[in-house]
Amino acid sequence: MTYVADLHVHSRFAYACSKNISLKGMAEWAKLKGIDLLASGDFTHPAWNRELKQKLNEVGSGLYQFGDVNFVLGTEISCVYSQGGLGRRVHVLVFAPDFKAVDLLCRSLAAAGAKLGGDGRPSVSLSARDLTALAIGLDCMVIPAHVWTPWYGMYGSKSGFDRLEDCFHDMSRHIHAIETGLSSDPEMNWSFSELDGKSIVSFSDAHSLPNLGREVTVFAGEPGYDALRDALALQQVEYTVEFYAEEGKYHYSGHRKCGVRHSPEDTARQGSRCPECGRPLTLGVLHRVKGLSDADVTGALDTSGMVRSSQRPPFIRTVSLLDIIAQSLGRGRATKGVQREYRRITGELGSELQTLIHSGVHDLESVAGERIAEAVMLARSGRVTVEPGFDGEYGRVQIWDRPEQLPLELDGYTR
C-alpha cells in the first residue's frame, strides 16, 4: 500500500492565495488530482483554524477527514531574524498531531509577537532553531520548505545558510526531511552529501486549487501522523512527482526587471552583478546547488520515465495536465474548453496523476486522443523544452516547439 501526499498547501487566508480555497474545494481537487493525503494549511490563522475544527472529523492517530479525503494538520511559518550579522528569512513546514498542540503553538507564537490574524503563513521573529525547539516540545514535526529558493529557503542565496547545522544547530537531529521546492528536483539534491540520510520530499505549495498536487510525495504504508513521522525519519519515500525544475521561478539567476537571465556558467563568466543595472543579481537555485555540491550523483531514466539511482528513491518529471491540454488546444488553461476536457479525461482515467504517470499509451490515446497522449509521453520521458525561470518568473514549457520532432517509439512506455 502506498499513498500520495501533498503537505505544503495554503488556505484562502494566506497572502497571494486564491479566495476560493475552501476545504470543500481542496477535497474536490484532491480527487481530481489523485491525492490521498493533504495538509490543512494555515492552521495558525484564527478564522481558518475555526473552520478546520468545525469541519474536519478526527479519525485517530493525528488523521482527519473532510468527506473521505484525509488531512493532517500542517502549516508554513516564516522565521524572520538575524544571525551572524545578516538578516535571515527561513520558511519551515510545521505539522501537529492534534488541535491541542496547534493551540499551544499558536499561543507561543502570539506571545513571541506573531500577528496570526494577518497572513495565513505568519512571520515570527524566532530563529528556525528556536521555532523547531518549540515545535518539537509539542510533539510537532518540522520540514524546511523549498530549501534552495533565494529569499526564503534555508540554503537560499539571499538570506540562507551553507549548512543545515548553521541554521538548526542542536535541533538539526530533529530535521529528517527537506522540501526541494519547484525549482530543484531530487537529482540536484543527491550531490549535496549533507542531505544523505534525509528524506527528500516534494509538495505543491499551491496558491490556487488547480495547482494542488503539481508536486507530490508517494509514501509507503497507510496515511497517519505517526506513520508520516516514521516514513520521514526512515526515508520511506516510494517516489516523488516533480515539476521540471527549469519551470520553477528561481531555477536560473537574473533580474526580472532588466530581462537578464543567467545560467551558472553565465554568472561564472560575467560575474554576479546585473550587466544592465549593475546591482547584484538574484542568484537562483541551480547556482546555489552547484556551489554547495560536494559529490556527483546522477540518475538514469528508465522506460517508465522514473529517474533512478542506486541509493535514493526515484522520481518522475511531468507537466501539468491543464498545461498539456491548453497547449494541445491552443487555448489558455483557465478557459472553459480546457477545464471541461481536463475533467473528462481525469474522470475517465481515474485522476490527473493516473493520467500523467501510470496510464498506458493505448488508454491515453483512446480517452484523450493522440496529441495529448503524445504530450504525456514526451513529458514523462524528458523530451520537452523548458525555457528556465529566473528571479520570480516561471519557466515556460514547450511541448511541440520543433515541428520536425522525431516520431516517438511509444511502445517502450506502455505500462
Q: Does 274 bind Zn ion (CB under 5 A)?
A: yes
Q: Does 88 bind Zn ion (CB under 5 A)?
A: no
The values of phi and psi at residue 248, to 5°, are -65, 155
How distant is the alpha carbon of residue 376 from its chain centre? 20
- State in angstroms the smallest separation of the CB of 289 from Zn ion: 18
- State in angstroms the smallest separation of the CB of 102 from Zn ion: 19
CA distance 27 to 4: 14
Helix intervals (H) in 115-180: 128-137, 164-168
C-alpha cell at 333: 488553461
Nearer to Zn ion, 7 or 145 (CB): 145
* 3-state secondary structure at position 17: coil
- State in angstroms the smallest separation of the CB of 121 from Zn ion: 7
Q: Which residues neighbour 378 within 8 Å (Cβ) at sequence distance 6 or greater?
A: 384, 399, 408
- State in angstroms the smallest separation of the CB of 279 from Zn ion: 6
- State in angstroms the smallest separation of the CB of 241 from Zn ion: 19
Q: Which residues neighbour 207 within 8 Å (Cβ) at sequence distance 6 or greater?
A: 10, 14, 16, 17, 18
Residue number of the CB atom closest to Zn ion:
274
**Locus of grid cell 490563522:** 45
CA distance 241 to 329: 25
Nearest Cα to 16, choosing from 147, 93, 121, 155? 121
Nearer to Zn ion, 23 or 154 (CB): 154
Nearer to Zn ion, 27 or 274 (CB): 274
Radius of gyration of the chain (CA): 21
- State in angstroms the smallest separation of the CB of 202 from Zn ion: 14
Contact between residue 214 and residue 6 where contact means Cβ atoms under 8 Å apart = no
Q: Does 91 bind Zn ion (CB under 5 A)?
A: yes
Q: Does 261 bind Zn ion (CB under 5 A)?
A: no
Q: Does 258 bind Zn ion (CB under 5 A)?
A: yes
Nearer to Zn ion, 124 or 227 (CB): 124
Q: Does 276 bind Zn ion (CB under 5 A)?
A: yes
- State in angstroms the smallest separation of the CB of 177 from Zn ion: 15
- State in angstroms the smallest separation of the CB of 54 from Zn ion: 27
Going from the C-alpha of 159 to that of each of 83, 178, 251, the distances in angstroms are 10, 17, 17
Nearer to Zn ion, 153 or 223 (CB): 153
Q: Which residues pair with 150 in a beta bridge?
A: none
Interface stretch with Zn ion, choices 168-176, 233-241, 272-280, 398-406 (CB under 5 A): 272-280
- Size, binding site for Zn ion by CB under 5 A: 7
Question: Which three-class secondary structure string do you get for 61-89?
Answer: CCEEEECCEEEEEEEEEEEEEEECCEEEE
Q: Does 334 bind Zn ion (CB under 5 A)?
A: no
Neighbours of 130 (CB within 10 A): 16
Q: Does 154 bind Zn ion (CB under 5 A)?
A: no
Q: Does 367 bind Zn ion (CB under 5 A)?
A: no
Interface stretch with Zn ion, choices 47-55, 254-262, 284-292, 364-372 (CB under 5 A): 254-262
CA distance 224 to 141: 13
Q: According to CB under 5 A, which one of 45, 255, 262, 287 is a site residue for Zn ion? A: 255
Nearer to Zn ion, 201 or 378 (CB): 201
Interface stretch with Zn ion, choices 195-203, 252-260, 316-324, 349-357 (CB under 5 A): 252-260
- State in angstroms the smallest separation of the CB of 304 from Zn ion: 31
Q: Does 277 bind Zn ion (CB under 5 A)?
A: yes
Nearer to Zn ion, 145 or 353 (CB): 145
- State in angstroms the smallest separation of the CB of 13 from Zn ion: 15
Angle between helices 128-137 and 99-111 (to 10 degrees): 140
**Chain positions contacting Zn ion, by CB under 5 A:** 91, 145, 255, 258, 274, 276-277
